[in-house]
Structure 1
Amino acid sequence: MFRWSRCLFILALLTAGSHSAAAETAPAAALPVGTVAAQKKAIDTALDFVGRVEAVSRVEVRARVTGYLDAVLFKEGELVAEGAPLYRIEPDLFEAAVRQAEGALERTRAAETLAAIQLQRAQDLLDRNSGTVVARDQARAALEQSQGAVMGDEASLRTAQINLGYTKILSPIAGRIGRTSVTKGNVVGPDSGVLTSIVSQDPMYVAFPVSQREFLRVQQSGAHLDRSKIAVRIQFSDGTTYDQLGRVNFVNISVDRTTDTVLVRASMPNPAGTLRDGQLVKVALQTGAPVEKVMVPQAALIADQGGVYVFVVEDGRAVIRRVKLGSGGTGPDAIVDEGLSGGELVIVDGLQRVRPGIAVRANPIAQSASGI
């Protein structure tokens, strides 16, 4: 009986030992992670800047004569054509000034006619030896004085007519008109300041400063760029991209000493009036043909003291890949210049539990869901 019990005890020990060894050697379950394949995409070679929209023409409308404002003839914020009436100043006094100048001119012209007749008479008498040279010269001087008076009165009449024309304030350019600073019944004049402003609409300029570092970068790349062939694309503050393409038309001849930048300007079509004077935009200069770059979601990037890295799935395990990011990534995407060649399964979901070398099970995520 004792021998049988001893056998059972030894058998139990052996059985327990075998179960313990099996538990120790059993592989851990693979951690499920969401992955996205690193993709190669054609990326525009672009330089990014911050710029501001400027109207090609901007006019401040002012009164050129003094008088009571009789009418405001436009709606604020609307488009106006060149030559469209904007304001009207009471014309009565100016019309009277024109008539007065016309009367003065008629008098001097009559005096001129009389002086011419007297000169001719004095000359006839002199020719018949009945007159004197002095009388003829005096008549000639009187005629010349009359002619000078006529010229002065003609200028006065022209001035009165011009001032009368200034009572109708017309739009000097076509564009969008701003808010009026005066209303009907107020006295306006040259000292009244700006009555309203008009900015042209199509095309528009986009001006942006370019640092010397960017210029040097282009030079060091060996690129010889024709500025007329550099395509310009702009992006609004809400992230949307403008549907028109512009061209660089001006590079300033000197560097701003305070900012060490050069002002560059592009001309942008604005057929729908989308661009507004003074608008802040993001400017992208497309300096060459698109280049293939590896793209990964921003969600896959991890930073530490050694730089930036991602986890990729290799042979069922999580492996660290150090990467060097490039410029030009937008939104949820990042450009990888070094570290990935495309096609690698990059972990984007479940990174909190991932450790180097841990067994993982890749679950592909749709590209739209990953942000690529």
Structure 2
Amino acid sequence: MSIPALAHILPRFLLLVLLCAPLVAGCSSEAEKPKAKPAAPVTVARATRKDVPIELRAIGNVEPFATVALKSRVTGMITAVRFKEGDDVAKGALLFTVDPRPFQAQLAQAQANLARDLASANNAKEQAKRYASLWQEGIVTREQYDQLQANADSLSASVASLRAAVDNAKLQLDYCFIRSPMTGRTGGLATHAGNLVKENDTALVTINQIAPLYVTFSLPEKDLATIKGRVGGRLPVQARVAGSAVAEQGTVTFLDNGVDPATGTIKVKATFANAGKTLWPGQFVNVAITLDTKKGATVVPTRAVQTGQQGEFVYVVKPDSTAEVRPVSTGPSLDGMTVIEKGVAPGDTVVTDGQVKLVPGGKVAVKGGAPS
């Protein structure tokens, strides 16, 4: 193309470029403009003020106050069982009868022997008295008197032995009637009427005393200083069976004399009246020891508290529906609520669900819980 032609076209091309430049810049700015991030859906709750009990919590095991395995003290045949399995029995209640007839015969024989020797002993004693007078008068010799006195002493000793035999026979007869040594609840029967039992052999039945009873649990050794000065009926305890709304009230009555070096815990026992028999031996229960009550504490749902590299924090929803990160200092937790010592005031709205989608200063959309 000739130079004159280029000179003719160039001004028009430059004019076209200048006219299109704003349009191109506008399109570029629209393409590079970031899109607004949608509000994150969250669930929230209000920080409230309430009295919070300060507690130590543990898992405990229910134990009977006392356990007795009844055995027969004599050998014989069971003639009667006076209760049903699982019955509540009173102290002194007759539970089993062992055939008493052989022992009644032994008692009668012992009593007869005692009566015979008692008569002989009385006669010998009187003879010794008479011979003592005759010896003083010189009518009989000292040897004769000593012989009669020795016979009287021997018969007196025999009478004492037979009295002991009678007492033993009475005791053996009494052992035929097996009674409950305490108030409690019977377990399963190990024998029935008609079976032969041996002296001090297998247990006939086991009785557990369940009112009152114990709950045994372990606490970390760091709590030892807190509780050791308050044992002996001055430290209240609650025990609750999992899934039950009823909590039994008791007191700590025993603290072991040493810390288990393998676990770093110490064994504790609490006594419960268990009048309603809510607790049962062998159960596992949730135990809570109430140490004190924190008045007017600020609490939030425990799930609102998050943990980061800088420590614990919560997301607070501000009035303009944006999220703010608040570092917090927490206290004890109870029933899904956590005490906030510092960082949140009563009435603040905290995020309890949806924190993973939040960024500081980001918009939030409340989908549930307290209004923002």
TM-score (norm 1): 0.83
Which of 225, 233, 241 lines up with 2:238 in the alignment? 233
Contact in 2 for aligned 1:300/1:310 (Cα 8 Å): yes
In structure 2, the residue matched to 1:3 is: none
Specify the SS of the correspondent of 1:340: coil
1:250 maps onto 2:259 in alignment: no
- Name the CA distance, whole Å, in 1 between partners of 2:191 and 2:123: 51
- Name the CA distance, whole Å, in 2 between partners of 1:302 and 1:45: 22
Map of 1:85-100 to 2, 5 A cutoff?
85-100=94-109
Q: How big is the shift at 1:131?
A: 1.0
1:45 maps onto 2:49 in alignment: no
- Name the CA distance, whole Å, in 1 between partners of 2:331 and 2:87: 45
What one-letter code is carried by the residue in structure 2 that aligns with 1:101? A
Deviation digits for residues 183-226 of structure 1 (CA, Å, limit 9, x no counterpart): 2222212342222111223222222233322124x39xxx9757
In structure 2, the residue matched to 1:345 is: 349
Closer, same or farther in 2 for the Cα pair 1:196/1:25, shift >3 Å? closer
Q: How big is the shift at 1:144?
A: 0.6
Contact in 1 for aligned 2:49/2:299 (Cα 8 Å): yes
Specify the SS of the correspondent of 1:136: helix
- Name the CA distance, whole Å, in 1 between partners of 2:40 and 2:138: 135
Which of 61, 67, 71 lines up with 1:58 in the alignment? 67
What one-letter code is carried by the residue in structure 1 that aligns with 2:61? R
Closer, same or farther in 2 for the Cα pair 1:299/1:250, shift >3 Å? closer
1:211 maps onto 2:220 in alignment: yes
What one-letter code is carried by the residue in structure 1 that aligns with 2:334? G
**Which runs of 5 or more structure 2 residues have no equivalent in the other structure?**
1-14
- Name the CA distance, whole Å, in 1 between partners of 2:55 and 2:195: 54
Specify the SS of the correspondent of 2:210: coil
Specify the SS of the correspondent of 2:206: strand
Deviation digits for residues 35-86 of structure 1 (CA, Å, limit 9, x no counterpart): 2112222110111123222222221211111111112211111110111111
Which of 150, 164, 175 lines up with 1:155 in the alignment? 164
What one-letter code is carried by the residue in structure 1 that aligns with 2:56? L
Q: How big is the shift at 1:267?
A: 1.9
Moved more, 93-102 or 44-53: 44-53
In structure 2, the residue matched to 1:327 is: 332
Specify the SS of the correspondent of 1:357: coil
1:78 maps onto 2:83 in alignment: no
Contact in 2 for aligned 1:49/1:282 (Cα 8 Å): yes
Contact in 1 for aligned 2:232/2:253 (Cα 8 Å): yes
- Name the CA distance, whole Å, in 2 between partners of 1:359 and 1:328: 30
1:264 maps onto 2:273 in alignment: no
Which of 275, 283, 286 lines up with 1:279 in the alignment? 283
Q: How big is the shift at 1:325?
A: 4.1
What one-letter code is carried by the residue in structure 2 that aligns with 1:326? G
- Name the CA distance, whole Å, in 2 between partners of 1:142 and 1:349: 103
Closer, same or farther in 2 for the Cα pair 1:91/1:25, shift >3 Å? closer
Moved more, 207-216 or 268-277: 207-216
Specify the SS of the correspondent of 2:95: strand
Q: How big is the shift at 1:239?
A: 4.2
- Name the CA distance, whole Å, in 1 between partners of 2:162 and 2:229: 64
Closer, same or farther in 2 for the Cα pair 1:335/1:190, shift >3 Å? farther
Q: How big is the shift at 1:352?
A: 4.9
Contact in 1 for aligned 2:46/2:370 (Cα 8 Å): no
Closer, same or farther in 2 for the Cα pair 1:209/1:350, shift >3 Å? closer
Closer, same or farther in 2 for the Cα pair 1:209/1:353, shift >3 Å? closer
Contact in 2 for aligned 1:233/1:242 (Cα 8 Å): no
Q: How big is the shift at 1:324?
A: 4.4
Contact in 1 for aligned 2:237/2:289 (Cα 8 Å): yes
Map of 1:288-299 to 2, 5 A cutoff?
288-299=292-303
Closer, same or farther in 2 for the Cα pair 1:66/1:275, shift >3 Å? same
Closer, same or farther in 2 for the Cα pair 1:122/1:224, shift >3 Å? closer
Contact in 2 for aligned 1:311/1:346 (Cα 8 Å): yes
Closer, same or farther in 2 for the Cα pair 1:302/1:210, shift >3 Å? closer
Q: How big is the shift at 1:291?
A: 3.9
User: How many percent of aligned residue pairs carry the same amino acid?
Assistant: 30
Specify the SS of the correspondent of 1:179: coil
Contact in 1 for aligned 2:304/2:350 (Cα 8 Å): yes
RMSD: 3.4
Contact in 1 for aligned 2:302/2:333 (Cα 8 Å): no
Q: How big is the shift at 1:358?
A: 1.5
- Name the CA distance, whole Å, in 1 between partners of 2:231 and 2:294: 17
Contact in 2 for aligned 1:313/1:362 (Cα 8 Å): no
1:358 maps onto 2:358 in alignment: no
- Name the CA distance, whole Å, in 1 between partners of 2:145 and 2:263: 76
Moved more, 282-291 or 78-87: 282-291
Deviation digits for residues 116-175 of structure 1 (CA, Å, limit 9, x no counterpart): 232133223223321111111111111110000001011111101100110010001011
Higher relative strand content:
2
Q: Which has the larger radius of gyration?
A: 2
Closer, same or farther in 2 for the Cα pair 1:254/1:298, shift >3 Å? closer
